Amino acid sequence: MKVAVLMGGSSFEREFSLDSGKNVCAALEEAGHRVVPLDTNAELVPTLRRERPDVVYNALHGKHGEDGTIQSLLEFLGIPFVGSPAHVCHRSWNKDGLHSSLEKYRSITNEPAIASWPQGVYIARDAFKDMGAATALDLVEDRVAGGYPVCVKPAHGGSALGVHRVDSQAELGEAVLDALSYDDAVNIEQWVEGVELSVAVLGSGWDAYALPPVEIVAQTDFYDAEARIKGLVDFHCPVRLESLSSDEATAQGIRAEIERAALEVYRAYGVRDMGRVDMIWDGGAARCFELDVSPGMTERSLFPKACEAAGLSLPAVLDELVNQAYERGVAF
Protein backbone atom coordinates (compact mmCIF):
# COMPACT_ATOMS: atom_id res chain seq x y z
CA MET A 1 0.00 0.00 0.00
CA LYS A 2 0.92 3.63 -0.28
CA VAL A 3 1.70 4.85 3.24
CA ALA A 4 2.37 8.48 4.12
CA VAL A 5 4.62 8.79 7.18
CA LEU A 6 4.18 12.10 9.01
CA MET A 7 7.19 13.34 10.96
CA GLY A 8 9.04 16.44 12.09
CA GLY A 9 6.51 19.16 12.78
CA SER A 10 7.12 22.19 14.95
CA SER A 11 7.05 20.81 18.51
CA PHE A 12 10.00 20.68 20.90
CA GLU A 13 10.24 16.99 20.01
CA ARG A 14 10.85 17.61 16.30
CA GLU A 15 14.27 15.95 16.15
CA PHE A 16 13.03 12.83 17.94
CA SER A 17 10.13 12.69 15.50
CA LEU A 18 12.42 12.91 12.46
CA ASP A 19 14.48 10.01 13.80
CA SER A 20 11.32 7.98 14.48
CA GLY A 21 9.96 8.73 11.03
CA LYS A 22 13.17 7.61 9.37
CA ASN A 23 13.04 4.23 11.12
CA VAL A 24 9.33 3.81 10.43
CA CYS A 25 9.90 4.49 6.72
CA ALA A 26 12.67 1.89 6.60
CA ALA A 27 10.53 -0.71 8.40
CA LEU A 28 7.49 -0.15 6.17
CA GLU A 29 9.62 -0.31 3.03
CA GLU A 30 11.10 -3.58 4.27
CA ALA A 31 7.53 -4.82 4.73
CA GLY A 32 6.84 -4.05 1.06
CA HIS A 33 4.90 -0.79 1.25
CA ARG A 34 5.42 2.29 -0.91
CA VAL A 35 6.35 5.01 1.56
CA VAL A 36 5.84 8.76 1.21
CA PRO A 37 7.80 10.58 3.96
CA LEU A 38 6.29 13.97 4.83
CA ASP A 39 7.82 16.61 7.08
CA THR A 40 4.64 18.14 8.47
CA ASN A 41 4.22 21.80 7.50
CA ALA A 42 1.71 24.22 5.95
CA GLU A 43 1.68 22.16 2.74
CA LEU A 44 0.58 18.96 4.46
CA VAL A 45 -3.09 18.99 3.43
CA PRO A 46 -2.48 19.85 -0.26
CA THR A 47 0.22 17.17 -0.35
CA LEU A 48 -2.01 14.51 1.21
CA ARG A 49 -4.84 15.34 -1.20
CA ARG A 50 -2.45 15.10 -4.12
CA GLU A 51 -0.68 11.91 -3.00
CA ARG A 52 -3.89 10.14 -1.88
CA PRO A 53 -2.19 7.63 0.46
CA ASP A 54 -4.03 4.45 1.44
CA VAL A 55 -2.96 4.89 5.08
CA VAL A 56 -1.13 7.47 7.17
CA TYR A 57 1.37 6.54 9.86
CA ASN A 58 1.79 9.33 12.41
CA ALA A 59 5.39 9.54 13.67
CA LEU A 60 4.89 13.04 15.09
CA HIS A 61 5.75 13.47 18.77
CA GLY A 62 4.59 16.14 21.16
CA LYS A 63 2.18 18.94 20.33
CA HIS A 64 0.08 18.37 17.18
CA GLY A 65 1.17 14.76 16.97
CA GLU A 66 -0.24 13.43 20.24
CA ASP A 67 -2.86 15.98 21.30
CA GLY A 68 -5.52 15.08 18.74
CA THR A 69 -4.61 17.78 16.20
CA ILE A 70 -3.25 15.58 13.42
CA GLN A 71 -5.78 12.85 14.20
CA SER A 72 -8.76 15.20 13.86
CA LEU A 73 -7.32 16.51 10.59
CA LEU A 74 -6.98 13.00 9.17
CA GLU A 75 -10.50 12.15 10.29
CA PHE A 76 -11.74 15.29 8.53
CA LEU A 77 -9.84 14.40 5.35
CA GLY A 78 -11.17 10.83 5.46
CA ILE A 79 -7.75 9.15 5.45
CA PRO A 80 -7.29 5.96 7.52
CA PHE A 81 -4.41 6.16 9.99
CA VAL A 82 -2.54 4.05 12.49
CA GLY A 83 -3.18 4.92 16.11
CA SER A 84 -5.85 6.26 18.42
CA PRO A 85 -8.71 8.54 17.32
CA ALA A 86 -8.60 12.27 18.00
CA HIS A 87 -10.81 12.25 21.10
CA VAL A 88 -8.60 9.66 22.82
CA CYS A 89 -5.42 11.59 22.00
CA HIS A 90 -6.93 14.85 23.21
CA ARG A 91 -7.91 13.28 26.53
CA SER A 92 -4.61 11.50 27.13
CA TRP A 93 -2.55 14.60 26.26
CA ASN A 94 -3.01 16.07 29.73
CA LYS A 95 -1.01 13.94 32.18
CA ASP A 96 -3.07 15.31 35.05
CA GLY A 97 -6.16 13.51 33.73
CA LEU A 98 -4.87 9.99 34.42
CA HIS A 99 -6.58 9.60 37.79
CA SER A 100 -10.00 10.75 36.56
CA SER A 101 -9.82 8.47 33.50
CA LEU A 102 -8.96 5.47 35.65
CA GLU A 103 -11.66 6.24 38.21
CA LYS A 104 -14.30 6.58 35.50
CA TYR A 105 -13.16 3.35 33.84
CA ARG A 106 -13.34 1.46 37.12
CA SER A 107 -16.82 2.77 37.88
CA ILE A 108 -18.07 1.51 34.51
CA THR A 109 -16.31 -1.86 34.33
CA ASN A 110 -16.07 -2.77 38.02
CA GLU A 111 -12.61 -4.12 37.22
CA PRO A 112 -10.19 -4.48 40.17
CA ALA A 113 -7.96 -1.44 40.69
CA ILE A 114 -4.34 -2.19 39.82
CA ALA A 115 -2.65 0.99 38.61
CA SER A 116 -2.11 3.94 40.92
CA TRP A 117 -0.61 7.37 40.30
CA PRO A 118 1.46 10.04 42.07
CA GLN A 119 -0.65 12.67 43.85
CA GLY A 120 0.01 16.24 42.78
CA VAL A 121 -1.28 19.60 41.59
CA TYR A 122 -1.79 21.14 38.14
CA ILE A 123 -1.20 24.87 37.60
CA ALA A 124 -1.65 26.73 34.30
CA ARG A 125 0.93 29.21 33.03
CA ASP A 126 -1.65 32.02 32.99
CA ALA A 127 -2.11 31.54 36.74
CA PHE A 128 1.57 32.41 37.15
CA LYS A 129 1.59 35.10 34.47
CA ASP A 130 -1.62 36.95 35.29
CA MET A 131 -2.76 35.88 38.77
CA GLY A 132 0.33 35.72 40.99
CA ALA A 133 0.47 31.94 41.52
CA ALA A 134 4.24 32.19 42.07
CA THR A 135 3.58 33.85 45.44
CA ALA A 136 1.82 30.69 46.64
CA LEU A 137 4.53 28.15 45.89
CA ASP A 138 5.15 27.88 49.63
CA LEU A 139 1.90 25.83 49.73
CA VAL A 140 3.40 23.01 47.64
CA GLU A 141 4.87 21.22 50.65
CA ASP A 142 1.38 20.90 52.14
CA ARG A 143 -0.54 20.32 48.89
CA VAL A 144 1.63 17.44 47.65
CA ALA A 145 1.45 14.36 49.86
CA GLY A 146 4.75 13.72 51.59
CA GLY A 147 6.18 17.13 50.73
CA TYR A 148 9.66 17.35 49.24
CA PRO A 149 11.18 16.00 47.10
CA VAL A 150 8.66 16.64 44.33
CA CYS A 151 8.63 16.12 40.59
CA VAL A 152 8.06 19.20 38.44
CA LYS A 153 7.23 18.62 34.79
CA PRO A 154 5.26 20.03 31.87
CA ALA A 155 1.64 18.88 32.00
CA HIS A 156 1.81 17.86 28.34
CA GLY A 157 4.46 16.42 26.04
CA GLY A 158 7.22 13.86 26.44
CA SER A 159 10.89 13.08 25.86
CA ALA A 160 11.54 14.00 29.53
CA LEU A 161 11.82 17.67 28.51
CA GLY A 162 11.47 20.10 31.41
CA VAL A 163 11.35 17.38 34.09
CA HIS A 164 13.01 18.18 37.43
CA ARG A 165 13.50 16.65 40.85
CA VAL A 166 13.06 19.44 43.41
CA ASP A 167 14.31 18.88 46.96
CA SER A 168 13.33 22.19 48.54
CA GLN A 169 11.23 25.31 48.04
CA ALA A 170 14.38 27.24 47.14
CA GLU A 171 14.70 25.17 43.94
CA LEU A 172 11.01 25.18 43.04
CA GLY A 173 10.61 28.47 41.21
CA GLU A 174 13.41 27.85 38.73
CA ALA A 175 12.12 24.34 37.98
CA VAL A 176 8.58 25.62 37.39
CA LEU A 177 9.86 28.32 35.02
CA ASP A 178 11.83 25.77 33.02
CA ALA A 179 8.85 23.38 32.79
CA LEU A 180 6.63 26.25 31.63
CA SER A 181 9.12 27.09 28.88
CA TYR A 182 7.97 23.84 27.23
CA ASP A 183 4.25 24.03 27.95
CA ASP A 184 1.32 26.14 29.10
CA ALA A 185 0.85 24.26 32.38
CA VAL A 186 2.91 22.43 34.98
CA ASN A 187 2.39 19.37 37.17
CA ILE A 188 3.97 19.31 40.62
CA GLU A 189 3.62 15.84 42.10
CA GLN A 190 5.04 13.30 44.49
CA TRP A 191 8.54 12.10 43.73
CA VAL A 192 8.37 8.31 43.52
CA GLU A 193 11.43 6.14 44.08
CA GLY A 194 11.63 2.64 42.69
CA VAL A 195 12.17 0.68 39.49
CA GLU A 196 11.44 2.86 36.46
CA LEU A 197 9.60 0.97 33.73
CA SER A 198 7.97 1.44 30.37
CA VAL A 199 5.39 -1.03 29.08
CA ALA A 200 4.49 -1.09 25.39
CA VAL A 201 1.04 -2.33 24.44
CA LEU A 202 -0.33 -3.60 21.12
CA GLY A 203 -3.94 -4.05 20.07
CA SER A 204 -7.26 -2.52 21.05
CA GLY A 205 -9.79 -3.06 23.83
CA TRP A 206 -9.82 -6.51 25.40
CA ASP A 207 -7.62 -7.84 22.56
CA ALA A 208 -4.77 -5.57 23.67
CA TYR A 209 -1.71 -7.22 25.19
CA ALA A 210 1.41 -5.97 26.94
CA LEU A 211 4.92 -6.50 25.59
CA PRO A 212 7.81 -7.27 27.98
CA PRO A 213 8.40 -4.31 30.34
CA VAL A 214 11.54 -2.27 29.76
CA GLU A 215 13.56 -1.41 32.88
CA ILE A 216 15.21 2.03 32.72
CA VAL A 217 18.38 2.63 34.74
CA ALA A 218 19.74 6.17 34.43
CA GLN A 219 23.47 6.73 34.88
CA THR A 220 22.65 10.22 36.15
CA ASP A 221 20.39 11.15 39.08
CA PHE A 222 17.28 10.18 37.14
CA TYR A 223 16.03 9.61 33.59
CA ASP A 224 15.78 13.20 32.39
CA ALA A 225 16.20 14.77 28.95
CA GLU A 226 19.98 14.96 29.31
CA ALA A 227 20.28 11.28 30.15
CA ARG A 228 18.03 10.44 27.22
CA ILE A 229 19.79 12.62 24.64
CA LYS A 230 23.33 11.69 25.69
CA GLY A 231 22.55 8.01 26.09
CA LEU A 232 23.41 8.05 29.81
CA VAL A 233 21.01 5.24 30.54
CA ASP A 234 20.91 1.44 30.52
CA PHE A 235 17.86 -0.50 29.36
CA HIS A 236 16.94 -4.04 30.35
CA CYS A 237 14.17 -5.77 28.46
CA PRO A 238 12.49 -7.63 29.89
CA VAL A 239 12.85 -6.09 33.33
CA ARG A 240 15.34 -7.97 35.50
CA LEU A 241 13.46 -10.12 37.99
CA GLU A 242 16.02 -9.35 40.69
CA SER A 243 15.09 -5.69 40.39
CA LEU A 244 11.57 -6.57 41.52
CA SER A 245 12.24 -9.17 44.20
CA SER A 246 14.93 -11.56 45.43
CA ASP A 247 12.35 -14.33 45.16
CA GLU A 248 11.78 -15.41 41.56
CA ALA A 249 8.14 -16.43 41.99
CA THR A 250 7.34 -13.12 43.71
CA ALA A 251 9.17 -11.21 40.98
CA GLN A 252 7.18 -12.99 38.27
CA GLY A 253 3.97 -12.04 40.06
CA ILE A 254 5.08 -8.41 40.28
CA ARG A 255 5.93 -8.35 36.58
CA ALA A 256 2.45 -9.68 35.79
CA GLU A 257 0.93 -6.94 37.95
CA ILE A 258 3.01 -4.29 36.15
CA GLU A 259 1.70 -5.53 32.80
CA ARG A 260 -1.90 -5.57 34.09
CA ALA A 261 -1.49 -2.00 35.34
CA ALA A 262 -0.34 -0.89 31.88
CA LEU A 263 -3.32 -2.59 30.27
CA GLU A 264 -5.69 -0.95 32.76
CA VAL A 265 -4.41 2.52 31.81
CA TYR A 266 -4.44 1.65 28.10
CA ARG A 267 -8.05 0.43 28.19
CA ALA A 268 -9.21 3.23 30.48
CA TYR A 269 -8.35 5.73 27.76
CA GLY A 270 -9.58 3.54 24.91
CA VAL A 271 -6.23 3.54 23.14
CA ARG A 272 -6.17 1.89 19.72
CA ASP A 273 -3.41 -0.04 17.90
CA MET A 274 -0.43 0.77 20.12
CA GLY A 275 0.80 2.84 23.02
CA ARG A 276 3.23 2.92 25.90
CA VAL A 277 2.62 3.37 29.63
CA ASP A 278 5.42 4.73 31.82
CA MET A 279 5.49 3.91 35.51
CA ILE A 280 7.57 3.24 38.61
CA TRP A 281 7.25 0.11 40.71
CA ASP A 282 7.65 1.55 44.21
CA GLY A 283 7.91 -1.80 45.96
CA GLY A 284 4.19 -2.16 46.51
CA ALA A 285 2.33 -0.73 43.53
CA ALA A 286 2.69 0.32 39.90
CA ARG A 287 2.66 4.13 40.02
CA CYS A 288 1.71 5.16 36.49
CA PHE A 289 2.48 8.69 35.38
CA GLU A 290 2.20 8.89 31.59
CA LEU A 291 0.49 7.36 28.58
CA ASP A 292 2.14 7.81 25.18
CA VAL A 293 -0.17 7.32 22.19
CA SER A 294 2.63 7.86 19.65
CA PRO A 295 5.59 5.85 20.93
CA GLY A 296 9.06 6.72 19.71
CA MET A 297 10.61 4.52 17.05
CA THR A 298 14.22 5.71 17.14
CA GLU A 299 17.11 3.31 17.61
CA ARG A 300 17.10 4.12 21.34
CA SER A 301 13.33 4.14 21.78
CA LEU A 302 11.63 1.71 24.12
CA PHE A 303 8.84 0.42 21.88
CA PRO A 304 11.19 -1.30 19.38
CA LYS A 305 13.17 -2.79 22.30
CA ALA A 306 9.96 -4.31 23.68
CA CYS A 307 9.03 -5.71 20.27
CA GLU A 308 12.45 -7.32 19.96
CA ALA A 309 12.19 -8.85 23.43
CA ALA A 310 8.79 -10.30 22.47
CA GLY A 311 10.27 -11.87 19.34
CA LEU A 312 8.47 -9.43 17.03
CA SER A 313 10.18 -7.63 14.19
CA LEU A 314 9.35 -3.94 13.78
CA PRO A 315 8.55 -4.32 10.05
CA ALA A 316 6.05 -7.09 10.85
CA VAL A 317 4.41 -5.10 13.66
CA LEU A 318 4.05 -1.94 11.59
CA ASP A 319 2.85 -3.92 8.58
CA GLU A 320 0.06 -5.43 10.68
CA LEU A 321 -0.91 -2.02 12.07
CA VAL A 322 -1.02 -0.48 8.59
CA ASN A 323 -3.17 -3.31 7.27
CA GLN A 324 -5.54 -3.03 10.22
CA ALA A 325 -5.88 0.72 9.71
CA TYR A 326 -6.67 0.23 6.03
CA GLU A 327 -9.32 -2.40 6.76
CA ARG A 328 -10.81 -0.24 9.52
CA GLY A 329 -11.03 2.85 7.34
CA VAL A 330 -11.88 6.14 9.02
CA ALA A 331 -13.28 5.04 12.37
CA PHE A 332 -13.73 7.47 15.23
Q: How far apart are the first and last CA of the chain?
A: 22
Q: How far is residue 110's CA from residue 160's CA, in Å, rounded to a whole number?
A: 33
Over residues 202-222, the mean pLDDT reads: 93
User: pTM of the prediction?
Assistant: 0.93
For the stretch 270-318, pLDDT in tens is 999 999 999 999 999 999 999 999 999 998 899 999 999 999 999 999 9
- Residue 228 pLDDT > 80, yes or no? no
Residue 47 CA to residue 101 CA, distance in Å, equals 36
Q: What is the pLDDT of residue 160?
A: 77
pLDDT at 225: 67
* Residues 208/266, Cβ–Cβ less than 8 Å: yes
Digit-coded pLDDT (tens) for 83-141: 999 999 999 998 888 889 999 999 999 888 899 999 999 999 999 999 999 999 999 99
